[in-house]
Structure 1
Amino acid sequence: MINGQYVSAMVAAAGMGRRMKTELNKQFLEISGDKILSHTLKKILASKYIDHLTIIIKDSDLNYLNDILENLTINIPYNIVYGGAERQDSIYNGLLSIPEKTKVVLTHDGARPLVEVSKIDEVIEATFETGAATLANTVKDTIKISKNGKTVDYTPNRNELWAVQTPQVFLKDVLMNAYNQAYQEGYYGTDDCSLVEKTGKKIKLVWNGYGNIKITTPEDLILAEALIGSDL
């Protein structure tokens, strides 16, 4: 709870993980002797503000999740929700399931186990500036825009580019309004912030380091193993 506001966290772990090239959902692969999703849940549960946890998975992964939960200490209420066709549908399913008294909603990728607990708390605190906040960092590479995927159309100003991560945190009414509007318009975004942006809301950027990677490919597993014990 923060400022008397009930905080619900949703961890999205219902993706297919096709780029990992494995039959097992990537969240249930291991790094540093534990499942990726287990690492992630431990970080979320360590936040001093979170009052409720929703874990979003594919129904076929329930047994894998139960194996993780048997070895976790969870001292707050939690529930399990099955995902939809797209990430957006999965988060919406989660939104419909959280306690009515929720005022602040945090969404986080199950495949981001390296997030720092202090940064989880920081982005929750920043939410009250505009009603929406996200962890992010500046882009190090020069980015090119190519509409046909073959030739460069132009180069945007790197100083204006940010790579957005999770957690992303919102006042519940702000996020619910954004989801309802997106479905009315038939719009699917790549993250929750993109839906909120379309309503005209400003998103507060909270600087984060470069260690909060999303584990997506086999190479990311190697990098995560190297980072998990580091100070990045």
Structure 2
Amino acid sequence: MHTYTAIVLAAGQGKRLGLGFNKQLLTLAGVPMIIHTLRLFARDEACANMIIVAREEEREQLAALVEQYDVPRVQCIITGGAERQDSVYAGLQVAKTALVLIHDGARPFTRQAVLRGLVNAAVETGAAIAAVPVKDTIKRVKSGVIEETIERAPLWAAQTPQAFQLPLIRQAHDEARAACYVGTDDASLVERLGREVAIVPSDDLNMKVTTPADVKVAEAILTERGHNDD
């Protein structure tokens, strides 16, 4: 069995939710969102350990939650950087397994089958991301006027987790830092090297909780199916 380290990004501020505190600490069905997310990986036997990347002032609070909810295999909680890319880079410096899965702490509903698919694809190709086909019609717009309707068939919406062989994603981040390049996600840094990134089909339930409407959907998901995401 191929094992991996999960790098979980947990430094979000919850501005769009209007919380005034880190949205990772928002309770869903009575449990902090970050705990729901960590439990995804705790249930996966292939997850060797987890690295939580957080703001310095919240590390102790997150450590207390990990202990309170008895989340296993948390290797460490480290301080992130000014930008998401900096936080991922910090996590990569302490990862030790041959594979890493990089995941947003605000996506608590990834299916176990997607995790397994990502691991298998990353072993084979070096890099893979969870994604879903784009369903809406996409328009290219300039100055409030449609310039073009873009063919929808080849378009996919990227999600996390994103899985990589550790040497490859470290190289991608190192070269991006050297060039002062900021990518839209980690996969874009690997694409910049000319490497292929595989797609592992996911689903719309692998949502990122960002808005008040998302919170209502997340609560409904937990009410309907509990914590079983197989």
TM-score normalised per structure 1: 0.92
Matched, 1:151 2:145: yes
Gaps of 5+ in 2: none
How big is the shift at 1:11?
A: 0.1
1:112 to 107, 110, 117: 107
State the partner residue of 2:15: 18
Following TM superposition, by how much is the alpha carbon of 1:77 offset from its aligned partner in structure 2, in angstroms? Answer: 5.3
Sequence identity of aligned pairs in percent? 38
For 1:214 and 1:121, the matched residues in 2 are separated by 20
SS class of match (1:155): strand
Does 2:35 correspond to 1:35? no
Structure 1 segments unaligned to the other structure (5+ residues): none
In structure 2, the residue corresponding to 1:137 is in which secondary structure? strand
1:206 pairs with 200, 205, 229, which one?
Answer: 200
Of the structure 1 ranges 120-129 and 179-188, higher mean CA displacement relative to structure 2 is found in: 120-129
C-alpha RMSD of the superposition: 1.6
For residue 19 of structure 1, report the CA deviation from its aligned partner: 1.2
Separation in 1, partners of 2:168, 2:221: 34
After TM superposition, give the deviation of residue 153 of structure 1 in Å: 2.4
> What whole-Å deviation, never above 9, does each CA across 1:176-220 have from its counterpart, x for those lacking one?
111011112111112111111111111110111110100011111
Q: Which residue of 2 aligns with 1:67?
A: 64
How far apart, in 2, do the equivalents of 1:10 and 1:127 lie? 15
SS of the residue aligned with 1:141?
coil
SS at match of 2:157: strand
Report the counterpart of residue 125 of structure 1 in structure 2: 120
Cα distance in 1 between the residues matched to 2:43 and 2:210: 24
Counterpart Cα distance in 2 of 1:119 and 1:78:
23
User: Equivalent residue for 2:54?
Assistant: 57
CA distance in structure 2 between the aligned counterparts of 1:173 and 1:134, rounded to whole angstroms: 17
Aligned counterparts of 1:65 and 1:115: Cα–Cα separation in 2: 21
- Whether contact under 8 Å (1:84, 1:90) holds in the other structure is yes
Query: Counterpart amino acid of 1:122?
Result: G
CA contact (8 A) 1:51 1:77 kept: no
Of Structure 1 and Structure 2, the greater strand share is in 2
Give the structure-2-normalised TM-score: 0.92
1:197 and 2:191 matched: yes
| Correspondence 1:95 to 2:106 | no
Q: Give the number of equivalent residue pairs.
A: 226
Amino acid in structure 2 at the alignment position of 1:146: V
